[in-house]
Amino acid sequence: MKVITIVGARPQFIKAAMVSHAIHTHNRKNNNQIEELLIHTGQHYDEAMSRIFFQEMCIPTPTWQLNCGNISHGAMTGRMLEEIESILLKEKPDYVLVYGDTNSTLAGALAASKLQIPVAHVEAGLRSFNSAMPEEINRILTDHIASALFCPTKSAVEQLKNEGILNGVHHVGDVMYDAALTFGKIAEQSSPILQSLKLNRKQFRLCTVHRAENTDNQERLTGIFRAIEEIATEDYPVVLPLHPRTKVCLERFGLTSQNPYLRIIPPVSFLDMILLEKHAFTILTDSGGVQKEAYFHQTPCITLRNETEWVETVAAGWNQIAGYEKENILNCIASIPTIREEIVDYGTGKAAERIISLL
């Protein structure tokens, strides 16, 4: 069986690493029954956010490296669609494997469906119910195209059922949980980030901001930036690894800080990010992946959006929805619940093995 995997952004690199490892293990036991070829669309073009992830997680070198980043949504998706289609026409895979909700995901699913190649969607069934988010459109369309839908949670299975999608749906657990278990131990042994930033465990806050709905909106980005500037103190500094899009927008809107305890740093490697997540006192983020990683590492999270796909983390008290207004964010910081419940819905750390078995 030949599988072509399509990735283009940080969360997909992490998920693909676990599935690639499961394929390697399967082939070692079954005499190389699955051939996996990788397309990297180039959606994340920053060196620290792309190539280093492949190196740290031992993801197979991409067979095809496209250059589809740093352009508008329409142009990006169109360019990906054209280039992916030409590859699929030549390779004729048995499955196209896509992850999550990016433009790379939608372009891969569309290209495959036009050629009647089955699509497998990892992380199917998630909904934010915010149609203004490009990611929401991407995930809905991909789910309605896919032949195999691998859901991380039971609520995702129910959502697909509500939309009339019943065939090919599987609750496999979350490959991000697989990754948290695998790479959390590695990060503890190999990442020097806490020492290099002179951070004490559980005595700093971590913040990430990258979604266009926040970065491209001056009011939203200002509210978030001023809130994290205010909570950054000598006892609890705030570490902000700066996404390339966020850096451009901060400069455009003239947002600067004189607070020495707001530590704005370049993007960090995957293992460094895991260690920061594990040992932060609190995480503030607009990233769906980081919200989940916060839960997996038992770090309270404040979501800088008006909704989340990961409703289970909110119900269990590990995640608060703050939005982008300064006062709301400060209120959440001041009222983090002390009683939190465990979630058992993300599987047992064997999601990638389950996916390969089903394929």
Structural contact between residues 352 and 19, judged by C-beta atoms closer than 8 angstroms: yes
| Nearest-angstrom CA–CA distance, 130 and 149 | 21
Q: Per-residue b/e over 325-357, b at no fewer than 16 CB within 10 Å?
A: bbebbbebbeeeeeeeeebebbbebbbbbbbbe
CA-based angle 152:270:135, to the nearest 5?
Answer: 45
| Nearest-angstrom CA–CA distance, 253 and 256 | 9
Measured N-to-C along each axis, helices 218-231 and 326-334 cross at an angle, to the nearest 10 degrees, of 30
Residue of 171, 210, 243, 279 marked active site:
210
| Nearest-angstrom CA–CA distance, 144 and 80 | 19
Contacts of 53 (CB under 8 A, 6+ apart): 10, 13, 14, 59, 269, 270
Q: Which two tokens stand for residue 221?
A: 């980005």
Q: Is the dihedral of CA 42, 44, 45, 46 positive or negative?
A: negative
Q: How many helices (H) does the chain have, and how many strands (E)?
A: 16, 13
Decide if 40 is catalytic: no
Report which of 272, 265, 274, 273 is spatially closest to residue 237, judged by C-alpha positions: 265
Q: Which amino acids are annotated catalytic?
A: 210
